[in-house]
């Protein structure tokens, strides 16, 4: 549905050239929810804006639904854009128009008859759950409601593709989840292809089937979400995965933590399970086999695309020799271990 | 002044009152005619200034530069000098260089660049994301101007209209001194030249009330259309 071929984008700031995108190649199949993740400044917005040519690539092709957008005239491009919906981080609703009239705008632009606009807009407001807000101005809506209006507006001209530029980055976690659920719903009901960009791995994990990781204008890695989580090949990918699981040591433990083992202190261990780790109930096994008690302090385990992964903080309580053997065994199971210190 | 005294003054000064009513009418004609023509030219000019900017919707730096220079020249000439300098132009357009109709020419020409800059400023307040969103939905440039830029800038444009009209009230008083008539003319003739403080006070009070009314009406309209 979307093909990005050898796309480069160079910005000039005075004499300085900024390579915002370097030789990007991506294919996004009809009906998928495709995520692009990268840190701030990586080139995500530039990439998604190249898909509807809000930003014209310096070189390369962008093919949407079989049409090479880079080859179109300005007028043809305007027409073609009506089949590509877009939503933004800051919603970009017109403050001068009510919810109803905001959603009606793309239809007005296309010259649709008044009575048809009315029924279409009412259906869309029903779909996004805002039928009761039709005559309200955007200033009186919450962030989540604004994004729902923006989604309804983007869907008004029956697009085949929906582009989402950090669509949940201005929303709180609960609202983010509800917006992602709405996106998933329209993806299923309308068989809409969705390309979304984000800096949050949680968003990708939440709804994407495929993901590409972009860093410094280059495509670093891409594949199914399960694959990337199970076998991240690059440090960048590993960092993003870890960012979804960040575990910190509670302050009172931190205070009791020492660098060396003494008489009655026990190791505090950070265990990292990745796609490579042996999939077995290792914790209870280790406890039984090596005769130690394992006290789990906190843990953040997840299951994505058939793979268990996550982080765990645990104390290994027992004689030093037993604990060491346990650590050795776990390492053999491809679980990454780090002794953070010894707790009294 | 008691109520009776006011009545007495009123009956004894019917000629003066007639003069004040006439000159109020002249002021209104000058302000609103030049304002109206000024908006008809200045608003599109302001839109053009905004659109032709670098990274604007219809980027054209040479047009932008030329318009900018013309507007700046218009803005930098003191109105009193413009008034005199334009006499030949006025004579050519109106056929005479004195009278209310003649005063409208320099007032209009003084108002146009003023309005253009204010409108440009109002358009600058419209977040660029809105224009992008409209482009993304397949809006043509004219549609973006009509359905996004102007409606979103409307509170600012009404504000610009208010400021312009108030400024024109002041300018029209200056125009009065070179034979344009109006309240400013009366104020100066009676107050300054004949030392009639009462008449000068009355014209000032009328001008203050006029300005107040324009400002309140403008503020009221802005409140009604502003949903930000
Ligand atoms: N219009 C522009 N002019 C100059 N540089 C730009 C422009 N837009 C983006 N850039 C630069 O391109 C790089 C990528 O930006 P962007 O795509 O916005 O990143 P992201 O959305 O991932 O945060 C950044 O270094 C940014 O400064
Ligand atoms: Mg961005």
Span B106-164, pLDDT tens digits: 999 999 999 999 999 999 999 999 999 999 999 999 999 999 999 999 999 999 999 99
Q: State the distance from the centre of ligand 1 to the C-alpha of A9, rounded, in angstroms.
A: 10
Q: Which of A267-271, A276-280, A290-294, B94-98 has the lowest mean pLDDT?
A: A276-280
Q: In chain B, whose CA is at the least distance from the CA of A76?
A: B138
The predicted model gives B72-92 an average pLDDT of 89
CA distances from A285 to A142, A290, A300 (A): 50, 8, 20
Strands (E), B35-122: none
Per residue in A127-165, pLDDT (tens digit) is 999 999 999 999 999 999 999 999 999 999 999 999 999
**3-state secondary structure at position A278:** coil
The predicted model gives B40-68 an average pLDDT of 94
Q: pTM for the whole thing?
A: 0.85
Say how far apart CA B35 and CA B165 lie, in whole Å: 6
Q: What's chain B's length in residues?
A: 228
**3-state secondary structure at position B174:** helix
Which residue has the least CA distance to atom 6 on ligand 1? A11
Indicate which ligand has the atom closest to the C-alpha of B55: 1
Q: Ligand 1 pocket, A228 CB below 6 A? A: no
Model pLDDT, residue B184: 85
Contact residues on chain B for A163, CB-CB shorter than 8 A: 136
Which one of B127, B138, B154 has the shortest CB-CB distance to A109?
A: B138
- pLDDT category of residue B26 using cuts at 50, 70 and 90: very high
Confirm or reject contact between A90 and chain B (CB < 8 A): yes
Which residue has the least CA distance to atom 20 on ligand 1? A41
| Ligand 1 atom with minimal separation from the A165 CA | 21
Which one of A88, A137, A153 has the shortest CB-CB distance to B227?
A: A137
Share of chain B above pLDDT 90, in %: 62
Confirm or reject contact between A116 and chain B (CB < 8 A): no
ipTM at complex level: 0.86
Q: State the distance from the centre of ligand 1 to the C-alpha of A20, rounded, in angstroms.
A: 6
Q: In chain B, whose CA is at the least distance from the CA of A51?
A: B136
Q: Ligand 1 pocket, A40 CB below 6 A? A: yes
User: Would the pLDDT of A15 be above 80?
Assistant: yes
Per residue in A278-293, pLDDT (tens digit) is 777 888 888 898 899 9
Indicate which ligand has the atom closest to the C-alpha of A38: 1
Model pLDDT, residue B152: 97
The answer to whether the Cβ–Cβ distance between B137 and A157 falls below 8 Å is yes
* Max avg pLDDT among A86-95, A264-273, A278-287, B181-190: A86-95
- pLDDT category of residue B42 using cuts at 50, 70 and 90: very high
Q: State the distance from the centre of ligand 2 to the C-alpha of A47, rounded, in angstroms.
A: 9
The answer to whether the Cβ–Cβ distance between A96 and B136 falls below 8 Å is no
Q: In chain A, whose CA is at the least distance from the CA of B136?
A: A81
DSSP string, B37-54: HHHHHHHHHHHHHHHTST
User: Would the pLDDT of B199 be above 80?
Assistant: yes
User: Would the pLDDT of A305 be above 70?
Assistant: no
Say how far apart CA B144 and CA B199 lie, in whole Å: 52
Q: Ligand 1 pocket, A213 CB below 6 A? A: no
Widest Cα–Cα separation across chain B: 71
Q: How far is A105 from chain B (nearest CA, A)?
A: 8
- pLDDT category of residue B200 using cuts at 50, 70 and 90: confident
Interface of B with A (CB under 8 A): 127, 129-130, 132-140, 143, 147-148, 151-152, 154, 225, 227-228
Indicate which ligand has the atom closest to the C-alpha of A88: 2
Q: State the distance from the centre of ligand 1 to the C-alpha of A64, rounded, in angstroms.
A: 23
- Write down the mean pLDDT value for chain A: 91
Indicate which ligand has the atom closest to the C-alpha of A90: 2
Contact residues on chain A for B147, CB-CB shorter than 8 A: 105, 108-109
Say how far apart CA B185 and CA B206 lie, in whole Å: 13
The predicted model gives B41-67 an average pLDDT of 94
User: Would the pLDDT of B1 be above 70?
Assistant: no
The answer to whether the Cβ–Cβ distance between B148 and A94 falls below 8 Å is yes
Q: What angle do CA A176, A181, A183 make, to 5 degrees?
A: 95
CA distances from B22 to A17, B18, B29, B97, B211 (A): 67, 6, 11, 20, 18
Confirm or reject contact between A54 and chain B (CB < 8 A): yes
Q: Ligand 1 pocket, A18 CB below 6 A? A: yes
Say how far apart CA A242 and CA A233 lie, in whole Å: 14
Contact residues on chain A for B129, CB-CB shorter than 8 A: 88, 90, 92
Q: State the distance from the centre of ligand 2 to the C-alpha of B206, rounded, in angstroms.
A: 56
User: Would the pLDDT of A242 be above 80?
Assistant: no
The predicted model gives A104-110 an average pLDDT of 96
Model pLDDT, residue A169: 93
User: Would the pLDDT of B55 be above 70?
Assistant: yes
Query: H or E element: which one contains A315?
Result: strand A307-317
Q: How far is A89 from chain B (nearest CA, A)?
A: 10
Return the structure tokens found at B218.
């403008």
């Amino acid at each position: 549905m979307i093909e990005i071929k050898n796309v480069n984008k160079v910005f000039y700031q005075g004499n300085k050239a900024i390579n915002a995108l370097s030789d990007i190649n991506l294919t996004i199949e009809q009906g998928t929810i495709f995520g692009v993740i990268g840190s701030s400044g990586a080139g995500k917005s530039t990439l998604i804006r190249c898909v509807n040519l809000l930003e014209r690539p310096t070189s390369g092709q962008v093919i949407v639904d079989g049409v090479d957008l880079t080859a179109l005239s300005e007028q043809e491009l305007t027409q073609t854009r009506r089949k590509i919906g877009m939503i933004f981080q800051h919603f970009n609703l017109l403050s001068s128009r009510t919810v109803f009239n905001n959603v009606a705008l793309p239809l007005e632009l296309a010259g649709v008859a008044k009575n048809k606009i009315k029924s279409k807009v009412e259906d869309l407001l029903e779909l996004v759950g805002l039928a009761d807000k039709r005559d309200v101005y955007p200033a009186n809506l919450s962030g989540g409601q604004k994004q729902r209006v923006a989604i309804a507006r983007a869907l008004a001209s029956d697009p085949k593709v929906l582009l989402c530029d950090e669509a949940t980055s201005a929303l709180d976690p609960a609202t983010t989840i509800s917006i992602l659920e709405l996106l998933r719903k329209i993806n299923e009901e309308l068989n809409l292809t969705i390309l979304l960009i984000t800096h949050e791995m949680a968003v990708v994990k939440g709804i994407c089937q495929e993901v590409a990781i972009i860093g410094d204008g280059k495509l670093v890695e891409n594949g199914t979400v399960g694959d990337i989580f199970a076998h991240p090949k690059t440090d960048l990918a590993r960092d993003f995965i870890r960012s979804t699981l960040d575990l910190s040591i509670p302050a009172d433990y931190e205070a009791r933590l020492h660098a060396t083992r003494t008489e009655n202190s026990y190791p505090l261990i950070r265990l990292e399970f990745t796609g490579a780790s042996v999939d077995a109930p290792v914790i209870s096994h280790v406890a039984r086999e090596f005769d130690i008690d394992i006290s789990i302090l906190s843990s953040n385990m997840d299951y994505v695309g058939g793979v268990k992964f996550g982080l765990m903080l645990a104390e290994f309580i027992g004689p030093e020799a037993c604990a060491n053997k346990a650590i050795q065994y776990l390492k053999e199971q491809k679980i990454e271990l780090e002794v953070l210190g010894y707790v009294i | 002044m008691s109520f009776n005294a006011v009545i007495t003054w009123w009956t004894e000064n019917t000629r003066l009152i007639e003069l004040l009513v006439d000159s109020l009418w002249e002021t209104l004609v000058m302000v609103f005619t030049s304002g109206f023509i000024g908006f008809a030219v200045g608003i599109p000019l302001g839109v053009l200034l905004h659109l032709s900017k670098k990274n604007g919707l219809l980027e054209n730096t040479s047009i932008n530069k030329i318009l900018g220079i013309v507007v700046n020249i218009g803005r930098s000439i003191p109105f009193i000098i413009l008034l005199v300098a334009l006499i030949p132009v006025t004579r050519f357009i109106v056929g005479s260089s004195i009278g209310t109709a003649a005063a409208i020419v320099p007032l209009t020409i003084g108002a146009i660049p003023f309005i253009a800059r204010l409108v440009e400023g109002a358009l600058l307040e419209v977040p660029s994301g809105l224009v992008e969103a409209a482009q993304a939905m397949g809006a043509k440039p004219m549609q973006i101007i009509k359905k996004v830029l102007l409606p979103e800038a409307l509170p600012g444009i009404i504000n610009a209209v208010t400021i312009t009209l108030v400024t024109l009230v002041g300018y029209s008083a200056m125009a009065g001194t070179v034979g344009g008539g109006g309240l400013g003319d009366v104020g100066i003739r009676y107050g300054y030249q004949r030392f009639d403080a009462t008449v000068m006070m009355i014209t000032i009070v009328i001008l203050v009330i006029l300005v107040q009314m324009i400002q309140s009406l403008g503020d009221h309209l802005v409140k009604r259309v502003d949903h930000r």
